Structures are given as structure tokens and as C-alpha cells.
Structure 1
Amino acid sequence: MVKNFRLNIAIRLLIMMLIMALFLYYVFVEIHYLRAVYLVVFFIISIVEFFRYIDRTNRDFTSFLLALLQNDFTTKFSESGKGKSFNQLYTAFNKITHKFEQISSAKEIQHLYLEALVDHVRVGILSFDRKERIHLMNQALQRLLGRKQVAFLNNLSSIDPQLPEFLRDIKPKENKLLKIQLGGDLLHLSIHATEFKLDNEYYKLISFQNIKNELDSTEMEAWQKLIRVLTHEIMNSVTPITSLSETLKQIAANAKSNPADIDKLAQGLEAIHHRSAGLENFTEAYKKLTKIPAPNFQKVEVKPLVERVLLLFQKELTHIKQEVDVDMGLTMLADPSLIEQVLINLIKNAIDAVHGVENPQIIIRATSGEQTTLIVEDNGSGIDVDKADKIFIPFFTTKDNGSGIGLALCRQIIRMHNGTISFSSAPGTTVLKIIF
């Protein structure tokens, strides 16, 4: 069989021309109509076969495109015996098919790699689309929630009724804490959300992390620090009271024989009374930390608030340079009374910090944006590094006559405003920053 395309076309054309010549011969020369009819049939068959042969390339091309469309890369074409141009065409078909096969294989490998990577991380990951169809729920999340892969977001209501609504409402780039009861255990979930688009399809990606152990550890550490401070303060009062009581007991035993000891007894009882009053004041200070009223949020202008607080310290600030960098009209949503109390504590600390410093200065700044930032800065001697992590602990103080509740009170008030307060110090500067 001759496979060259051009030769096949030439042979088919010659056969059709021969059939046509015989047809004309039997019609006009020999006048044999039956044979002429047979030749017409043969001619029609040869034309049909000719076009089918011509269309074979189109059929191969269609087959090639459909195979690519259906991700079928098993179709191969013969690359020889059909003429140079057709051999090149089918070679190109096979190369394209092989290239797509390589791309598909690489994508599959990358998908498997990413799938293994996502399953390997210890943070729970969940992804769903606008129709709330879940596309990803890694093994860490399945272990955390005690559930296998689920199809839709609403299916998570079997874990906790509030969970689906919580995941719908959380905004991109937002961090929230959610507590859920699961199998008798209380989970503290730190949840972070983001969103993205793939092929114009919206997806929401959410990470889950159980921070209960970290919270427990931090809480335990805070309690230990608090107990150490409480123990220190109480023992500072109880030890001299115990010692003095023992001395007074001996004096009382000899008071009848030595009336002069009555005065010593009275003085000792006065000292005990004074120290007992100190312990009472100490416990009252502790109660202040536990009885802060809930904030009454209002729209507060920052600059008048700062100026009002500075006016309270007019006498103390006589020899201190003050700089207020707050834009007029800057407002924030807060409880003015509580924030005023915070500023009073911070400015009082700054005044104490610059005592005895050459060219003392206090700077108060406020900026706005996505969040409001309030800064109180002084040029005092600063706080030692080993004490910096303790300044927000109740009753810890670096002052001889300090109560140690000022900054602890400030931190609690700021937390009630969903804000943060941070501290930084170096020789010659101390900065307290509040972010709402």
C-alpha cells in the first residue's frame, strides 16, 4: 500500500478520471448503459472515499484537540509514511501532547506536595467558597475538631452551633479568639482569616490554633509572679509585726514591776496599728483592680482630654518642659473617665521619672489611622532591663513609696477598651504606647 499522501491523491484522481473515461466510452461509443450505470456508482464511491481520505487529517486534528480538552494524553499519531509535511504535523501533535502531559504531571506533583505540606503543619486550615462549600480541611483541623472532612460550612454546627456564623463574620486579616466546648474539653481557638481569588472564584482561608496550653502557661506564670509579689508585700508587714508582738509580750509581762515600760508598750501597739493599716490599704488597692466599671463608650476628643489632665499637674509640671503633639479634632471611641485615669497614672509616672534629671521633658503624642495611638514619653533614667517585664504586674513598683497598681490598672482599662499598652525604655528615654 502506498502511504505517501500526494501519491495517494494522484492515484485516486487517476482512478476517478479512468472511471469517467470508461463511462463516456460506454455511453457514447459502445452504448452499453448498464455498464455505464455501474461506472457511475463506482465514481460516486470513489468521490466519497476521496473526500474521506482528505478529511482524515481534519479528523486527526479534531481528535487531537478533544484529547487535550479532556486531559487525555495517551493519543499518539504515526509520524512516518504520510509525506514530509504530514509527518511534521503529526510529530508536532505528539510533541504538544507530550508537553501537556509533562505540565499535567508537574501540576499533579505540585498538588500532592502542597497537600502533604498543608497536612503536615500543626495549624488547622479551612477553606470555603461563596457557596460555603468546603474545599480544604487539613488533618490538623480534623484532629483538633475531632471530625473528618465535611462538605459544607453548616456541617460544622454539629461541633458548635456558633462556629459557622463565627467563620462567616470574621473579616480578612482579623484575629479573634473563640471558646468552644468539645468532648468535655474547653478549646481556646485563635482564629485568623484571609481571602483570595482563583479564576475569579472567591475563597476564604481560615487558620485555627488551640492556644489553651499557652494561655494556661501564661496564666500560671502570671499567678506565680502575683503570688511572689503578694508574699513579699505581706511578709514585709507580717515579719516586723510578729517580732514586735513578741517584744511587747515580754514588756507586758514586766509592766507591773517597771511602769516605764508602759510607754514602750503603747509605742509598739501604735506601730502594729500603723502596719496593720498598711496591710488594709494594700488589700483595698487589690480590690481596685477587680472592681473597674465597664466602659461607657463615647466619642472623645483627645487633645482637650490631654490638656485637662495636664492642668491637674500644673504645679508638678512647673519646671518640666511639656510637648503635646495631638491634632485638633482627633477623636476616639472610649470611656473618657477611664482614659483620663490612665493618663493621670502615666503622666504621674513620667513626672516621677524625670525628677532630678537635667532639662526634664515629657512628650505626649497621638496619631490616627486604622487605629488610634497614644504615646507618653519622658527623658528620665529609664527602667532596668531585668525589671521591664514586671512593670504591669500588680503591686510591683520601682518606687520607694509606690503602690504598684498604677500600670496594672492602666493595662486592665486598656484591655477593656480592646486595646494594648506596651513599654520600652533605654537610658534617657521611656516610652509608653497605647493602641486602641
Structure 2
Amino acid sequence: MSSPNKSKPKGERKSEHKPEFWVLIASLIAILPLCFVSLILLSMAELPEHLFWTLLFMVVGSFIWSLVYLQRRILFALRSISNALMSLAESDYSIRLGLCERGQILDEVVRSVNRLRDLLHAERTGAAETGALFARVVEKVDVALFAFDPHGNLCMVNERGLLLLNRSRKEVLEKSAQMLGLAACLASSDNKVLRLNLAGSASNWLIKKAQYREFGAPRELVIMSDLTAPLREKELEAWQRLVAVLRHEISNALAPIKSYSQTLGWTLRQTERHEGWEQDCIEGLAVIERQTTALNYMMQSYKNLNQLPTPVPHYFDLQPWLAEIVKQELRLPVQIFSGEPLELYGDRELLSQALVNIINNAIEASTNAQPPIISWQVLTRPGNNHTWLTLDITDFGEGVANEDNLFVPFFTTKAKGSGIGLLVCRGIIEVHGGHFNLMNKAHGQGCIARIQLPLPLSAHH
């Protein structure tokens, strides 16, 4: 077996004692002139032989002692500083240097190294605590987190992600997104909903993505939120509200039918009927017919809600279209506050159906006979360059009493309403890529029906 010295490169062996060599040279340069002057003075002085040799021995001894002392003193300090710096480089903060002698330049170096050690220790402790907190949050957060390297291999996953994949951490790390069934998530755009079949069950997932760097290498973070439970809660809530409205409407329709049926049955079973019983039967049957007709109308309205026609879009001018619709209304003179000329792209007939229904609601709400107002403006939504038409139909009635139930099927405050009109209007506007909302005015009495539609690039004349 070769010795350690023989295994070292030649250049390394030559430079092994280089620091000590330079300290020795520096010490010699500092002390040798003084020793040389002392020897010259001794040789020039006429001293007895025993005194001459005694002084010569003292000068040479002092020279050697000073040389050894300086070399060891400086080398010890330099080695201590070097060891401390190496410990700091290896994240070992247990070493703290002591001062050599007050006022020396090495003490300033030692103080600087100790300050560096305290600063690094504090930063390392803070970073470790922050990292531990971040790791705990990542592990306990109720979303699945996956981090992929530039090659699409998984490099980080939290507990929720492991539960989703139904595998251990060792089984999934360094595996590709394709092998884990997450290729669609990695290729997906940010803030997109995907339906995925993972661990034997299909669910809807909201995908969010972000980029970060770890040790200088880029990472792709994929955040997956399970939408199944929230959607089921919303769906259950919608069904409960729908059932409550249906129960109310059907109960109101069946109550008189039941009452008149019992009365008519009792009358027909009597051997001696009271005078005018035929007219009572006719009126009772008429009530039953009206109630069944109302029930049938409600169910037909629901059928129409689920069978909206597919729009056939084309270009048409906004202002002439509004003027044509307003002319058809004879009850109140609807006012139009003209804005800039615009061109819309959509199914004119379907949009006319929605607008007529909205204007009809506005006029019926205008109990003070003050006519509704139609106005519009063009807005650019933040985050994109697309322009939108905002069309407001404002009435001056009593406003909406319960905004939460506006778009609940069959909910209505009108005596002869079906509770379907607003839903149909919203469906027509949404199939055109727009939005519809009904809100009370912020100031004053009345309500605003707001239609928002995307404008084609050539909308402005």
C-alpha cells in the first residue's frame, strides 16, 4: 500500500508547506537585520572573551526564540482562522475564535470571522425554521403538490399527492409525469379544470401552475385542487333550492285541486243536491282546469329552459337593433341614451328574445310609471385587450327583494310568473360568451339589468 504522501500529486507536495515557508521568510526579514547589527556591534567592541561569547549566545538565542515564537504565533492564528472558515463552509457553527492579543491586527480578523459566524448562524437558523414551516405546510395542505424537473420527472410531492397517486414516495420520485398519469396536468395551462382518472376514480381537478428554481435548476410546480366535493355541495344546494321552489309551486297548485275535487265528489254522492249545484261543479272544474294548465305551463317552461336553440351569429348594428325593440313596447316610452356606434356579432333573434324579456320585467317593475332607461358603454377587461359591451337596462321600481333567488328555477314574485324568464335570458347571453346580472341600484330606488357581451375586433365604426 502506498503512503499518503506518495499518492499526492507532485505539485501538491511542493505547495504543502508553502504558508509556513512564507511565514518563516517574513520572520527572517523582520528579525535578521536586528541580529546582524547586534553581531557587528559585538565584533567591534573590545570585550573579554567569556563576555563576548555570552552576549553572542544571547543574541543568537533571542534570534532563534523570536523566530520560532513569531512563526508559531502567526501560524497558530492563521490555522485557527482557516479551520473556522472551513467549519463555516461546512455549516458547522460550533467554533468560536478567541482573541490573540488586544490591539493586534489578527484580533480584528478574528472579530470579523466571529461576526461572520454569528451572522451565518442566525441566517441558517432562520432559513431552517422557515424551511421546516414551509415543509410542514406543504405536507399538510389539502391540495396535491407536484414539482417536476425540466425533463418532466417528479422531484417533489406532498402527502396529498401521494394519497392521490396511491403510492409511496419512493415509488413516485424520479418517475416521469407520463408514468404517473400526470402528463395532462403538466401540459395543461394555468387555472384550468381537468377531469382525471387517478387511483381508480374520476374527479374534476382545478390545475394551477407556477415556476421556481431549486439549487439553480428550474422546476415546474403543479397544484391540483379536487373540485368534486365543492361541486357536489353546490349541486346539492341547487337541488335543495329547486325542490323547495317546486314543492311550494306544486303545493299551491294542488291545494285548490284537492279541495274542489273533494267538494265535487261529496256533492255528486248526495241524493238530494242543493240548488245551483251544477254551477258549483262547473266553477270547480274550471278552477281544476286552470291549476292543471298552470302546472303544465310551468313544466313546459322548464323544458324550454333545457332546450335553448344553438345561436346562428352574424354582424348587426347595436343602435338600430335597440330602437327596433323599443318601438314594439307601447306601455311606457323606453328611453335610449345613445353611446358610440357599435357592431355586434351574435344571433339577433335570440338576443332580441332575451332583451324583450328583460325590458318587459323592467316595465312591470316601474310602478311609478317612470320609463326604464337603456344605456351602454365599451370597457376593456383587466388582463387582456378584448373589449366588451356593457348594456344596462335601468328601472325605477322597488328593486329586487331577494337577489339570491333570482336565477332559481320557478322562483318568481309575479302573480302569473313562471320563474323561468331570467334563466332563459341568462342562458341566451351566456351561449354568446357573455354575462347577465340583475342588481339593485347603489343609489336611489330601482334595479339594473346588466348584459355584458364580447365585441368583435371590428366593432367600432
Match for 2:131 among 95, 102, 111?
111
Displacement after TM superposition at 1:222 (Å): 1.5
Q: Mark the CA change 1:71 to 1:255 in structure 2 (over 3 Å): closer, same or farther.
A: same
Write the distance in 2 (CA, Å) between the matches of 1:155 and 1:75.
46
Displacement after TM superposition at 1:418 (Å): 6.0
Match for 2:424 among 403, 406, 409?
409
Query: Contact between 1:132 and 1:152, CA under 8 Å: does it hold in 2?
Result: no
Provide the residue aligned with 2:364 in structure 1.
352
Q: Mark the CA change 1:258 to 1:130 in structure 2 (over 3 Å): closer, same or farther.
A: same
Q: Alignment RMSD, CA only? A: 4.6
Give 2:131's aligned amino acid: H
Give 2:413's aligned amino acid: T
Write the distance in 1 (CA, Å) between the matches of 2:452 and 2:222.
25
Query: Contact between 1:316 and 1:351, CA under 8 Å: does it hold in 2?
Result: no
Displacement after TM superposition at 1:184 (Å): 5.2
Secondary structure of the residue aligned to 2:415 is coil
Secondary structure of the residue aligned to 1:313 is helix
Structure 2-normalised TM-score?
0.67
Q: Mark the CA change 1:361 to 1:245 in structure 2 (over 3 Å): closer, same or farther.
A: same
Provide the residue aligned with 1:278 in structure 2.
294
Provide the residue aligned with 2:336 in structure 1.
322
Q: Mark the CA change 1:242 to 1:78 in structure 2 (over 3 Å): closer, same or farther.
A: closer
Displacement after TM superposition at 1:68 (Å): 5.6
Secondary structure of the residue aligned to 1:404 is coil
Match for 2:447 among 418, 430, 433?
430
Give the aligned length.
Answer: 393
2:207 is the alignment partner of 1:191: yes
Write the distance in 1 (CA, Å) between the matches of 2:314 and 2:213.
37
Provide the residue aligned with 1:210 in structure 2.
226
Provide the residue aligned with 1:390 in structure 2.
405
Query: Contact between 1:378 and 1:429, CA under 8 Å: does it hold in 2?
Result: yes
Provide the residue aligned with 2:141 in structure 1.
121
Query: Contact between 2:145 and 2:224, CA under 8 Å: does it hold in 1?
Result: yes
Secondary structure of the residue aligned to 2:139 is helix
Displacement after TM superposition at 1:374 (Å): 3.1
Structure 1-normalised TM-score?
0.71
Displacement after TM superposition at 1:224 (Å): 1.8
Q: Mark the CA change 1:64 to 1:373 in structure 2 (over 3 Å): closer, same or farther.
A: farther
Secondary structure of the residue aligned to 1:291 is coil
Q: Mark the CA change 1:344 to 1:122 in structure 2 (over 3 Å): closer, same or farther.
A: same
Secondary structure of the residue aligned to 1:177 is strand
Write the distance in 1 (CA, Å) between the matches of 2:278 and 2:93.
110
Query: Contact between 1:229 and 1:396, CA under 8 Å: does it hold in 2?
Result: yes
Give 2:324's aligned amino acid: L
Write the distance in 2 (CA, Å) between the matches of 1:311 and 1:117.
60
Write the distance in 2 (CA, Å) between the matches of 1:8 and 1:413.
96
Q: Deviations over 1:140-183 (max 9, x none)?
A: 4434554444435844753xx4x422342223xx3x33333445
Provide the residue aligned with 2:116 in structure 1.
96
Where do 5+ consecutive residues of structure 1 fail to align?
A: 22-49
Percent identity between matched residues is 23
Provide the residue aligned with 1:43 in structure 2.
none
Query: Contact between 2:399 and 2:446, CA under 8 Å: does it hold in 1?
Result: no
Give 1:320's aligned amino acid: V
Deviates more, 1:393-402 or 1:76-85: 76-85
Query: Contact between 1:241 and 1:275, CA under 8 Å: does it hold in 2?
Result: yes
Displacement after TM superposition at 1:346 (Å): 2.4
